[in-house]
Each structure stands twice: as structure tokens, then as C-alpha cells.
């Protein structure tokens, strides 16, 4: 999992996601670097648009809804509950995630 986080961090910092950079980030955390896992991750991300994969990932909106209701005035009765993601949204999210892992 630390390799995926390293790739996401490099993407966020607009750095190239390559073997040397991923290994450097993982090494900086104090974890032992497994070169085979680094190579596999970089190879699997070669044809992936990371930005699109992030946008397609499911977001935990339902957990934030109760906190927002409490801040807005918890005494009022809820009119609508947060709807769970549709099956189509879940499929799209899973496709995006599967593209990260090949």
C-alpha cells in the first residue's frame, strides 16, 4: 500500500512517477523497498491517467453528512438521507481502481 501512496504523493506534487522516485519516497518513510513491487506498480501505472482514476474513486460522502447536519442545526428533522452510490457509479469506480493494479 505504501507504494500506491508514494505514487499518489508524487502525482500530487507533479513529479514523475518512476521507479527511482517511488523508491525514494518509500525509503524516506523508513520502510524497506521491494524493487519488484516498485517495478510492478510503475509498470501498471504506465497507461493510467491518475487524475481520472482519482475522480472515479468512490468518496465517503455519507460519513460527512451527519456532521454537516449537526453544524447546520441538529434540531431540525432530516428531510432526505444521503443516497448510497448507484451500481453504475460503483462499477465505474471499480474500473478506475482496477486500472491502477493492472
Q: Which residues contact 55 (CB under 8 A, 6 or more apart)?
A: 96
Tell me the C-alpha distance between 76 and 62, whole Å: 18
Global model pTM greater than 0.75: no
| CA distance from start to end of the chain | 15
DSSP state of 24: H
pLDDT in tens, 79-90: 556 666 677 777
In this structure, are 56 and 97 located in the same domain? yes
In this structure, are 77 and 94 located in the same domain? yes
For the segment 3-12, the average pLDDT, to the nearest whole number, is 91
In this structure, are 29 and 78 located in the same domain? no
Number of domains in the chain: 2
In this structure, are 2 and 15 located in the same domain? yes
Residue that the C-alpha cell 452510490 belongs to? 85
Q: Which residues contact 50 (CB under 8 A, 6 or more apart)?
A: 7, 8, 11, 17
In this structure, are 6 and 22 located in the same domain? yes
In this structure, are 61 and 101 located in the same domain? yes
In this structure, are 57 and 29 located in the same domain? no
- Specify the pLDDT at position 100: 63
Domain containing 36 equals: 1-46
pLDDT in tens, 65-77: 555 555 555 555 5
Q: Which residues contact 96 (CB under 8 A, 6 or more apart)?
A: 52, 53, 54, 55, 56, 57
In this structure, are 58 and 34 located in the same domain? no
Higher pLDDT, 57 or 94: 57
Amino acid at each position: 500500500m505504501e507504494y500506491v501512496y508514494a505514487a499518489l504523493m508524487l502525482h500530487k506534487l507533479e513529479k514523475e512517477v518512476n521507479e527511482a522516485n517511488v523508491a525514494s519516497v518509500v525509503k524516506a518513510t523508513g520502510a524497506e523497498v521491494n524493487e519488484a513491487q516498485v517495478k510492478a506498480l510503475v509498470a501498471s501505472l504506465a497507461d493510467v491517467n491518475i487524475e481520472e482514476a482519482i475522480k472515479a474513486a468512490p468518496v465517503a460522502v455519507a460519513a460527512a453528512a451527519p456532521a454537516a447536519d449537526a453544524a447546520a442545526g441538529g434540531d431540525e428533522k432530516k428531510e432526505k438521507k444521503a443516497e448510497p452510490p448507484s451500481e453504475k457509479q460503483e462499477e465505474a469506480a471499480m474500473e478506475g481502481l482496477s486500472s491502477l493494479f493492472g
